[in-house]
Amino acid sequence: MLLLACAAARLDWRAIGATVRHSSPPLLAAATLVNLLSLAVKGVRWWIFLRRIGVRSVSMAIRSTFVGAGVNNIMIANSGEAARVLLVSREAGLSRGSVLATLALDRIFDPVCYLSLLLVAAWIVPLPGQLAHARAIALLLLALVLGVVVWLTLRRSTDLALTDAPRSWRARVRRFRGELTGLASAGRMCTAFTLSVVVWASQLATFHLVARASGIRLPWAGDVAALLLTNAGLILRATPANVGYFQFAYAVTAAPFGVPATAAIAAALLLQVVQIIPVTMLGLIVARHFLRRSCPV
């Protein structure tokens, strides 16, 4: 954080502000809608697994996904995922362990798409050295994650029907593993992967639209590289919404494509405005609705 603060102190914030002021409102509005669409699709992807444990309402999954994203935008360490589990388990009257199992499966697909995109882009896109040299690690991790997915899919289980409350940690682990394998049918996994491709394509379109709105003529290869490096903190958020790291990563990615640092920082700021403010506002509104239903006056 100290290094990021030092780097920020050296930037020409007047030029950055001018770029932000002269950005295209229609393109930013389009980017906002595409970003919201990608989050709604994430909610549908989660519902694919929630439906197996009795959640019939797809809107509940979408609303809680917005709440979780809003919490992630103001907290650290993916706190929004815990909020999603708590909201759905309370609203649907389900055990937290069962809901957590659905979320665990849902969350597998973002690393799968990220690593797949990284491997493909490494051969066709001029990636920064930090990503270009990560091919072998990405291939190993992707093979590991896909191995887990295949194992879960092939190891069918009906343990979702268990009613006895597990008392030891070993029993809880066995119960959780049984719930995962019971959820991971080939049909659900394929559908979830297809929806994940839509999510990541929407995010790529969001990056492209915001770059155009800020006057940056990045090729699609540049947008792919920016998407990959800014999402390198996918597993754990060091700051709320990865603010600071996001701008640094975007500027590093855009530099090889001839984009000045001030223009890149302006585009990164606009990107996070598009991704954070509307989602956080909607998340707060939806969270208020959940709380009203859970705690009627």
Q: What is the mean pLDDT of residues 55-70?
A: 93
Residue span of the structural domain in which 60 resides: 18-294
Give pTM, 2 decimals.
Answer: 0.85
Q: If you write DSSP's letter for every residue of 25-48 in order, what string do you get?
A: HHHHHHHHHHHHHHHHHHHHHHHH
Residue 5 is assigned to a structural domain of this protein: no
CB contact at 8 A, 41 and 66:
no
Determine what percent of the chain is predicted with pLDDT higher than 70.
82
Residue 9 is assigned to a structural domain of this protein: no
Residue 12 is assigned to a structural domain of this protein: no
- Helix (H), strand (E) at residue 75: none
pLDDT band at residue 198 using 50, 70 and 90 as cut-offs: very high
Q: State the CB neighbour count (10 A cutoff) for residue 250.
A: 27
**CA distance linking residue 53 with residue 68, whole number of Å:** 20
Query: How big is the CA angle at 56 (ends 176 and 185), to the nearest 5 degrees?
Result: 45
Residue 7 is assigned to a structural domain of this protein: no
Cα 88 to Cα 58, 292, 293: the distances in Å are 11, 14, 12
CB contact at 8 A, 79 and 241:
no
pLDDT value for 163? 47
Residues 65-78: tens digit of each pLDDT: 999 999 888 876 67
Residue 4 is assigned to a structural domain of this protein: no
The count of domains in the chain is 1
- In the predicted structure, residue 291 carries a pLDDT above the cut 60: yes
Residue 3 is assigned to a structural domain of this protein: no
- Asked whether the CA dihedral 61, 67, 69, 71 is positive or negative, the reply is negative
Tell which phi-psi region holds residue 78, choosing left (phi > 0), alpha (psi between -120 and 50) or beta.
left
Residue 11 is assigned to a structural domain of this protein: no
Residue 47 is assigned to a structural domain of this protein: yes
- In the predicted structure, residue 12 carries a pLDDT above the cut 70: no
